[in-house]
Amino acid sequence: MKMDSSSELASLYTVKAVAILDNDGERLLAKYYDDTFSTAKEQKAFEKNLFNKTHRANAEIIMLEGMTIVYRSNVDLLFYVVGSASENELILVSVLNCLYDSVSQILRKNVEKKALFDHLDSIILALDEIIDEGIILEADPIAVAQRVSLRGDDVPISEQTMSQVISSKLDVLQSAKDQLKWSLLK
């Protein structure tokens, strides 16, 4: 079966990158999930260009360097989610909202640079709960914040009840099934 070069196959790999920058355009946290920007120098140049195009704008979406980027600002932070040019903006916005709302819950609604640095380990865990290698795993900020707080408590698996272990595994399975469904529907 020959594929038309203009058609793209649906993919679970929907997110190319996530970045949180401060109000000077400096990286606080960034994760790149493909090789679009394979070196640190390329990543920094992209982040600088992205910041210059968005820090004064009131929009929530931008097309830049052949990618769809959704973003949100708050006090002294800018949150970005990057996808391919053909990616569904609503899916990217749901990831952005999940990330922002998760961070807001973890930081107890004090979403600013200092608080983010104080809880950076939890924020990184939250990002890992939301996206893995570019695949969206979770879009519910409450579930993400709960999982991060459980990990923060460091409850060893040997001390968890069987129902807690099964419940966490079922949550992961359900998230994967939901992500697959959404990818196939778009």
Mean pLDDT of the chain: 81
- Identify the domain containing residue 77 by its residue range: 17-185
Residue with the larger pLDDT of the pair 26 and 169: 26
Average pLDDT of span 130-149 = 88
List, in order, residues 6 or more apart from 141 with CB less than 8 Å away: 97, 98, 99, 100, 101, 102, 104, 105
Residue 11 is assigned to a structural domain of this protein:
no
- The enclosing domain of 96 has a CATH number of 3.30.450.60
Query: Per-residue pLDDT for 156 more than 70?
Result: no
Specify the pTM. Answer: 0.73
Residue 12 is assigned to a structural domain of this protein:
no
At 96, is the pLDDT very low, low, confident or very high (cuts 50, 70, 90)? very high
Q: How many domains does the chain have?
A: 1
Average pLDDT of span 88-111 = 89
How many residues in the chain? 186
Query: Per-residue pLDDT for 151 more than 60?
Result: no
Q: Reduce the DSSP state of residue 98 to 3 states and report it.
A: helix
Query: Per-residue pLDDT for 64 more than 90?
Result: no
Residue 3 is assigned to a structural domain of this protein:
no
